[in-house]
Amino acid sequence: MAGRERAILAAALEEFLARGYGGASLSRIVARAGISKTTLYRRYPDKAALFRAVLDRQMARSRPAAPLAASGGAPLRLEEGLVRYADAMLAFALREEVRGVERLLCSEAHQFPELAAAAAARNARGVERIAAFLAQCAARDGMPCRDPHGAADQFIALLRGWYLEVLETGRRVTAAERRAWVERAVERFVAGRSAW
């Protein structure tokens, strides 16, 4: 990512976190990034596009495909891949900057449909990634999976529910606590594999 692009997205993130989506000013973002309004609007035609780019940058920084990649050339077992994915995504989501964006989404999405749409698009990418992994494991293991998308949707909802509970309560979670929860959740999820 070019330096100017990083500066724009960093300034936008700071502004959104400081003032919320509704209170964020594109003029302050332009000033903070040291660019012209023309430069900003050439890249992002409106505040919604800029916010979506902030979310996309966070997703890219989380490297969501990495935990599902084969290790040492051997494909991951179902449980191993799901644990690696869930633990990596939750560890990233618990970073303060990401928690701030999530709080913003939770508090303002009802007023701004574009926020809800951006959050839904982010969630859909996670569901698609897990659905593809479930289908790959089903084919490799010779176990039919009638609805990998539905199972993936439930898996992502399981992770999201735990994450939102942690976010809402302000609880600090250690890496060991997070990993233990992930392992238990994946074990229970995979126990229902025949119903997928």
What is the count of structural domains for the chain?
A: 2
Summarised one tens digit per residue, pLDDT across range 80-96 is 999 999 999 999 999 98
CATH of residue 172: 1.10.357.10
**Do 2 and 91 lie in a common domain?**
no
Q: Is residue 58 part of a domain?
A: no
Summarised one tens digit per residue, pLDDT across range 104-125 is 888 888 888 888 888 888 889 8
**Do 22 and 69 lie in a common domain?**
no
pTM of the model: 0.82
DSSP 8-state secondary structure symbol assigned to residue 69: S
Alpha helices in the chain (DSSP H): 3-23, 26-33, 37-43, 47-62, 78-93, 96-108, 113-141, 148-169, 175-191
Q: Is residue 79 part of a domain?
A: yes
Quote the domain boundaries for residue 41.
1-51
CA distances from 91 to 88, 139, 169 (A): 5, 29, 17
**Do 31 and 112 lie in a common domain?**
no
Q: Is residue 93 part of a domain?
A: yes
Over pLDDT 70: what percentage of the chain?
97
Radius of gyration of the chain (CA): 19
- Cα–Cα distance, 20 to 26 (Å, whole number): 12
